[in-house]
Amino acid sequence: MHENEAVAREMFEKYIRGYARSALDHYEFHHEGLADIPGYEYYGKLAANIRKHGIDSFVNFLAELQVWGTPEQVFNKLAEYQRRADAGAVIGVFSYGDMPHELAQRNITLFAEVVLPRLKALDVGCDIGNHVPLTIAAA
C-alpha cells in the first residue's frame, strides 16, 4: 500500500506479482500431471487452464486476489469484500516476497493509521475480540 497510486502499482508488480509467481513455481500449478493424482484433479484442471491462457494470466489472477493500492483503494476493496462475504474481521498481509522489512513495516503503519480506523467504523454486525488488544508476535 502506498499513498501514491503509481508507487502502489510498482509495489504490486514487484512484490505481489513476484510472490504469486513464486507460489505458481513452488506448488507447480502448471503441471498437468496433477490431474492423474487422486485428490489433485482440480489442480490438473487448473494446469489446463494455465496452458490455455498462459502463465502471466494466472499470475495476474493470483496477484489480483490480494488487496493493494492507495489507502482509499484498500479501504474500498476491503469494505466491498466485507459486504459481499458478511465478514466480521480481516487478516492483513503486509509483506510479500523479498519486500524489505522497512517497507512492510510502513505498510502496516499506513494501514493502522489510515485504513483501520475507517474499517473499525463499519457496522459488521458483530464484536470481534471483545475490545481486548491483540499482540503481534513479530514487531
Please give the Cα distance from 53 to 120 (Å, whole number): 39
Closest C-alpha to 75, from 112, 46, 103, 39: 112
pLDDT level of residue 18 (50, 70, 90 thresholds): very high
Full domain range(s) for residue 70: 5-123
Rounded average pLDDT over 15-28: 94
Give me 85's grid cell: 462475504
pTM above 0.85, yes or no: no
Within a domain: 38: yes
Q: Is the pLDDT of residue 133 over 70?
A: no
Q: Is the pLDDT of residue 2 over 60?
A: yes
Within a domain: 93: yes
Please give the Cα distance from 32 to 101 (Å, whole number): 36
> Into how many domains does the chain fold?
1
Rounded average pLDDT over 127-135: 60
Encode burial over 28-63: b for 16+ CB neighbours within 10 A, e otherwise. ebbeeebeeeeeeeebbebbeebeeeeeeebbeebb
